[in-house]
Amino acid sequence: MKYIKESPRITVKIYNNNTEELLITLTDRNWTNVGDIFPQYHITSLVLDEFKRRKKTPPTKVLVMIAEEYTLEQ
């Protein structure tokens, strides 16, 4: 038995750290462009753009998480 990844693609999720509300989901990423997401200026741009679109005040803290799915293979 082993766990396998069905896809080489990665999902990045950004949450409001105070309320745990999911703010942004970035799908179909790879390890190279996941690294591009983490600089402060890029997170700032993503979150501020999203909240301008929603016409809401951005959260004071955000949590960025990378999610990968593995399936148990017999």
Query: Residue-wise pLDDT tens for the chain (74 aa)?
Result: 899 988 888 999 999 999 999 999 999 998 888 888 888 999 999 999 999 998 989 999 999 999 888 899 98
> HSE (CB half, 13 Å, CA atoms) of 66?
13
Q: Is the dihedral of CA 17, 22, 24, 28 positive or negative?
A: positive
**What's the predicted TM-score (pTM) here?**
0.79
Q: Is the dihedral of CA 14, 21, 70, 6 positive or negative?
A: negative
For residue 54, give its domain range: 2-73
Query: Domain tally for the chain?
Result: 1
The single-letter code of the amino acid at 28 is D
Distances (CA, A) of 69 to 11, 21, 37, 51, 65: 9, 21, 20, 28, 13
